[in-house]
Amino acid sequence: MNSALRTERIALAVTPLSPVHVGCGEDFVPTGYVMQDGWLYAFDPAAIPLTDDDRQDLLARANRPGADAILAVQRFFAERARLCMATARLAIPVAPAVQREYEDRVGRTAAVQGGGKTIVNQLSIERTAHHPHTGVPYLPGSSIKGAIRTAWLNQLNAGAAAGGDGNAKQLETRLLQGAFHTDPFRFLAVSDAMGEDVLSEIVFSTNHKKRLVLSKSGEPRAAKGPTTRREAIVAAQYAALVTDVTIQQPQMKHAPGELPVPESRLTGWRSVAGACNAYYLPRLKAELDLLEERCLAAPQWIQRVRQLLRQLEAPLAAGDAVLLRIGRHSGFENVTLDGVRQLKTGGKTSTTLWLAAREENARSEMLPFGWVLLHRQGQPLPALRQWCDNQPKPDVTVARQQLRQLREALQAQRVAAEQAEAERRTAAQRAQEAAEQEAARLAALTPQGREVEALRKQLLGHTAARKQPVSGQLYQITRALIQRAEQDSAWSAEDKAALAQLLTTLVPEKIDLAGKAKEIRQAAQRLGAST
């Protein structure tokens, strides 16, 4: 069997048009982050330079019973916010209401159930897909490929009803006329869309009814979906991420049954782009209409997106720009095929939608999740760039400068601590050496020399402000030692000289000799000292 592959590679930039959250199964938890001044600082608890007292405090808190331990540990890190910030591995802007919620709830009990069971404020925040080492968000290639696949299958289905297709797998088998070897997407590869400085933000994910439903009292009914906190890639970051798409078109002379059927084959990027834009453009426009009708998004944002789509008509039509919707909360209508869409309840459309909000109970000024634009690298889109420049985004300059200053201050503290420790060790070493030398000196003393040394220590031990009178113990000991030194032949000249030195230095410093001063000077002279 002879075969060859004709390969088309397309380098694409990715610009998020709205917040994007792609789940990764990880959360920020309040024992690994603190919030201050509108920013979340994520840190590794093991990397925080704690004092011995702090370590004992943390251990004691962790050993508390039940929920008290969780709350106490949460408070421990919140109380040391600046230290945690200085060791943070990344900083992410947060919506003001998210921080207020954190400040109100961290380390506090949420509720107490029957029997006294405590419910803890978890304050967890769902992370978006991110690089495991840098924490920078990215868009998985599988998410992009999945969005493309949905649009392509929708084009193949051409609005046909489900018929006998009992599930999605049976539907795909019918559309692709086979299994793995006939699947055209095995010839499509999409790399992860990554960037060096992709900004994310912590927002609320809020659920809203698509149609206004009033209660008996005339109040709007709220949707039942729980509000959660999520990290999402910030919208309007022009060409913030890049990805490569590779399309292979096999040219086989034999075994055509091992290839996708001709009508399902990916004939090139433009055909793929056409299918995607045909699928997603009407859906974005319909969502803009819905947001406008329900007053869920800012009118100015809606109008600017509509204007942007008009300005991008040419690159969209040419396949140089491709609209996709990816990630969490893409919406039921954006992940299903026309003609076969059906909810478990029997409906054809969902009744609620999820929106990114800066307030937990927001009812306006919100944004949809998941809209992104792929466009060819090297072919600038001035209208898109201008639109991005006009959209509000968190200012990272001040926070990053503060983080840098905190890290520098912590580093300076570490250097100072290391220097102090080095000086302490040097002093301890010197003290040890001096002690060893003193011990050696004492060991070499004669018994008479030890008596002189004992007198020296007793004199030094008198630390009172006033000198001791001659009626005191020090003078009596001194006089007795002078007598032994003069009468005992075992005393060497060296030991006598050492005693004489004490008589002219420490003795008059510590004893009020009064009328005995002359006697002591004469004794020193006799023992060989110079006065």
Domain end residue (candidates: 96, 123, 150): 123
Confidence (pLDDT) at 401: 85
Confidence (pLDDT) at 25: 93
Confidence (pLDDT) at 254: 47
Residue 18 lies in a domain: yes
Residue 262, pLDDT above cutoff 90: no
Residue 216 lies in a domain: no
Pairing of strands 125-128, 23-28: antiparallel
418 and 458 inside one domain: no
Q: With contact defined as beta carbons under 8 Å apart, do 93 and 202 qualify?
A: yes
Pairing of strands 371-376, 3-16: antiparallel
298 and 418 inside one domain: no
Average pLDDT score over residue span 164-175 = 64
Domain end residue (candidates: 70, 92, 123): 123
143 and 115 inside one domain: no
Residue 399, pLDDT above cutoff 90: no
Helix H or strand E encompassing 466: none
b (16+ CB within 10 A) / e for 412-423: eeeeeeeeeeee
Find the range with the poorest average confidence among 263-267, 284-288, 374-378, 505-509.
263-267
98 and 173 inside one domain: no
Q: Binning pLDDT at 50, 70 and 90, where does residue 115 land?
A: low
b (16+ CB within 10 A) / e for 341-355: beeeeeeeeeebbbb
Domain assignment of residue 355, given as a range: 8-24+125-210+222-393
Tokens at 197, concatenated:
């400085």
Confidence (pLDDT) at 183: 78
Kindly report, residue by residue over 339-392, the tens digit of the pLDDT: 565 555 555 677 889 999 999 888 889 999 999 999 999 899 999 999 999 999
Distance CA 327, CA 210 (A): 20
At position 148, the amino acid (one-letter code) is I
Residue 331 lies in a domain: yes
Give the 3-state secondary structure of residue 65. coil
Kindly report, residue by residue over 318-335, the tens digit of the pLDDT: 999 999 999 987 766 665
Distance CA 8, CA 269 (A): 8
15 and 48 inside one domain: no
- List, in order, residues 6 or more apart from 65 with CB less than 8 Å away: none
Residue 370 lies in a domain: yes
Residue 73 lies in a domain: yes
SS3 percent helix, strand, coil of the chain, rounded to 5, is 45, 20, 35
364 and 428 inside one domain: no
Q: Please give the sequence-ordered ranges of beta strands (E in DSSP) within 142-190, or none if there are none.
A: 188-190
Domains in the chain: how many in total?
4
Residue 66 lies in a domain: yes
Q: With contact defined as beta carbons under 8 Å apart, do 322 and 245 qualify?
A: no
Confidence (pLDDT) at 339: 53
Q: Please give the sequence-ordered ranges of beta strands (E in DSSP) within 235-384, or none if there are none.
A: 241-252, 321-325, 352-357, 367-368, 371-376
Average pLDDT score over residue span 433-453 = 89
CB atoms within 10 A of CB 8: 15
At position 217, the amino acid (one-letter code) is S
Distance CA 368, CA 366 (A): 7
Confidence (pLDDT) at 338: 67
Output the average pLDDT for the chain: 86
Domain end residue (candidates: 101, 123, 145): 123
Please tell me the total number of residues recorded for the chain in this structure. 531
Find the range with the poorest average confidence among 65-74, 172-181, 206-215.
172-181
Residue 151 lies in a domain: yes
Q: What is the DSSP string of 218-231?
A: SPBPPP-SPPEEEE
Both ends of the chain: CA-CA distance in Å?
118
Confidence (pLDDT) at 1: 41
182 and 229 inside one domain: yes
Average pLDDT score over residue span 253-261 = 58
Residue 2 lies in a domain: no
Number of H helices, E strands in the chain: 16, 18
Beta bridge partners of 371: 325
163 and 61 inside one domain: no
Distance CA 320, CA 175 (A): 27
Distance CA 9, CA 32 (A): 41
424 and 469 inside one domain: no
309 and 204 inside one domain: yes
406 and 499 inside one domain: no
Distance CA 356, CA 297 (A): 10
Q: Binning pLDDT at 50, 70 and 90, where does residue 168 land?
A: low
Average pLDDT score over residue span 445-454 = 90
Say if residue 370 is exposed, middle or buried (CB neighbours under 10 Å; 0-12, 13-18, 19+): buried
Model confidence, pTM: 0.76
Tokens at 454, concatenated:
């004992």
49 and 15 inside one domain: no
Q: Binning pLDDT at 50, 70 and 90, where does residue 113 land?
A: very low
